[in-house]
Chain A
Amino acid sequence: MDLSEEKKIVERAKNDPKVFGLLYDKYYQPIFGYILRRTASIELAKDITSETFLKALKKLWQFRWQNVPFSAWLYRIANNEIANYFRKNKKHPISLDELLEKRGFEPATSCNPEKEFLKAQEELKKYQDFLKIQEKIAKLPIKYQEVIALRFFEKKKIKEIAQILGKKEGTVKSLLWRGLEKLREIVKECNFFQKDAF
């Protein structure tokens, strides 16, 4: 889907739930995956993803196309929601259960959510190297966490990160360099690069 095509879809999505559904289908997995890799928690990823898409839906009518992929806007909302969670740990993001309770709507699903959740947790535990480095990254200030996660976990280019964060490419490079430097120091302290760490 090129940018002009996506622009038309986003405009239609403002008034058509079905078209919004198309955008949701396309971007649910990248956003959920990003939040999961930022939080290293299935539970948090579920809740923050719900909050992100609910915010996107509420604010979609205000969305103005600026020749930037729609995904950049979703990543930015996700970043804000993650930052909100880390800053005000007291405020728990809206859970899907809460959302369903509010709407009074329980859709039928062929999957067993609980089973799926447990399975996902088990699956996550297999990625020990990731969990260890994620634990170190989580100690960094949010601005460094964002650039490192986007660059190395989401494999985004500097230009794309700049679009998501609304910063200049030079600023992103600088943040990335300083973030890596700080991360190296944390890792060094913990002897993270010992062979048995991986």
Chain B
Amino acid sequence: MRFKIKKTQNKITMAQKDLIKKLENIALPEIELQSHKLQLKSALLNSECFKKRTPVIWGKLVPLGLALSFAIVFAVFVINPKLMEAKAMEIIKKDSQVQRFIKENGAVIKEVKIKGGKGYVLLSLSEPKVLQKEKISTSSEMAFGEKVGPQFLVGSIVKVNLRAKKVESIKNLTENDVPFVPLTKEEKAKAIEIIKKEPEIKEMVPPSDKTKIIVKPIPSLKLRLQEDDGKIKVSPEPAKEKRANVILKLEDKQRAIMVNLTQEKAEKVIEEK
């Protein structure tokens, strides 16, 4: 019923046919304004918007492109690494083993680096901690040669798997893990010369032919992370002053004297039985 009504409504009535016929046959004005046509054409073709269209487009696109490029570079090289670093920090803060290391050793997060989807977090100790049971006085830049004296814990590297959101490994660092520049012959001779001049040391170390003298460099315990050959490694921060350990191997005991080569003086004596 509804359809029928609609059909009737759409039916063209006689009156409508008449209207259409009248509209189709009506005489229409065909007026031309030559002066307007010419004036408008000249105005358009000489308009600034036509002349400046190309520079306007470039003028808008170039800064936009530059801003976009800058935003991409900024996001890729600045924001993204910072976000990844923050993510690595977040993961280690939730890891109980790392938290225990920090608490027990008074360690602090020194540096974070991101490489190949992994985060490397350097935990540094405010003071080196002796790994052996002997109780000795320590200083921030004090260390011994590999086979001489106690070993010191200087920090730790925590490897974080950012995708899996978990700590992959924790590697404790001793002074032996920190690379150092070997001493030259002149520096070794200078270190021996310095201790010979010190009257206190002369007393402590009686002259003996059997005394063996070893001179070893002291690596800086101020550490940092560095990318080397595609790997993240620990390296010492450049020290302001150069120091060496002069180890005197006596018959019954050995003594280690820390010498400041820059200031040309002995700084500390450590005795081992």
Q: A-side interface residues toward B, CB under 8 Å? A: 14-15, 17-18, 20-21, 24-25, 28-29, 32-33, 36-37, 42, 46, 49-50, 53-54, 57-58, 61, 96, 99-100, 103, 105, 107, 109, 111-113, 116-117, 120, 123-124, 126-127, 129-130, 133, 148, 152-153, 177, 180-181, 183-184, 187-188, 193, 198
Contact = CB atoms under 8 A, between A and B. Distances in A.
A126 to B, nearest CB: 8
A34 B10 CA distance: 28
A20 B28 contact: no
Contacts of B24: 152
A177 B38 contact: no
A96 B34 contact: no
A50 B40 contact: yes
Contacts, number: 129
Interface residues of B, number: 38
Contact of A57 (B12, B32, B47): B47
Given A58-B49, A103-B46, A127-B28, A180 B35 contact: no
B16 A180 contact: yes
Contacts of B47: 54, 57, 99, 103
A155 B24 CA distance: 8
Contacts of A112: 35
Contacts of A180: 16, 19-20
Given A33-B31, A116-B34, 19 more contacts: A21-B45, A32-B37, A33-B29, A50-B36, A50-B40, A61-B57, A96-B43, A100-B43, A105-B43, A107-B38, A107-B42, A107-B46, A116-B35, A133-B26, A152-B20, A180-B19, A180-B20, A188-B15, A193-B19
Nearest to B51: A17
A151 to B, nearest CB: 8
B44 A24 contact: yes
A123 B52 CA distance: 40
